Structure 1
Amino acid sequence: MKIGIAADHAGFEQKQKLVQQLTEQGYAVTDYGAAKFDAADDYPDIIVPLGMALFHKEVDRGIAVCGSGVGVSVAANKIPGVRAALITESYSAHQGVEHDDMNLLCVGGRVIGPMLIWEIVQAYLNAKYDGGERFQRRLNKVIALENQFKS
């Protein structure tokens, strides 16, 4: 599975740890930035390369980290084809994939610790989309909403 990852300054340290952990687990990881700590960077700028990689199917799943996880999730959901959610516990990490085909996990590097982040990441990456009729019907409605508001 190809994983894309991105973080702003507030999530930079957690992202660096995740890149190492994911690589050690055998995942193909592409780091979309930030490449270095910059206290003046902005989460919307950081999320675009990862979101576009998901849009173009260059990666299978993404992980984004900012201070709270809220900013990256809000910005990412503006990119067509991205289904991002802020996750703070492992149940929603796998359920978001299984029921909603979530493809971008957002976490807050300042609000949850590295052990919990890693548990959430593992639940997310081990989950598979169910694809059952009711889940696909709902996903189709989400995609239709997205298409309705394209300019």
Structure 2
Amino acid sequence: FRKSEEVGPNAFALPGGVVVLTDELVEIAEKKDGVIGVLAHELGHIQLKHPERRLVRSLMALAVVSLILDDSATFAEELATISGSLISLAYTREFEEEADRAGKEILIRAGLSPIPLANLLQKLSDSCEENCSQLPHWLSTHPTVPSRIEFLLSD
């Protein structure tokens, strides 16, 4: 577990199969079932190799822009970062949807319900309304919370 005011209540999978949950997420979850749901989602990312794929895409974007402009130019690095970030938003939403599907399947195969994860997502959304800036959907890295909850509660 990690504590970070910049990250807030969050979890993420890193290359190599490392999963990080922030202390704030665990505190908001209150019950282990919600945390297990988050872990299942992050394990979905790992099973689908999302962290590695995201890293490769970022490196490829940097390489392409560096080749086009000048590999030593700071501008090339900045442009690659910006363009890579915008291009990867759609992939990131796709990865999140895939991880939701994989996580739900992991929970069901383990004989667990995805309902606690849906409840935690709603709780995070409710707490975020007061504290988080609301980005337009096209700039968001995740599908909308209502669509994620609807999926988790569907048969």
TM-score (norm 1): 0.26
Identify the structure with the greater strand proportion: 1
| Structure number with larger C-alpha Rg | 2
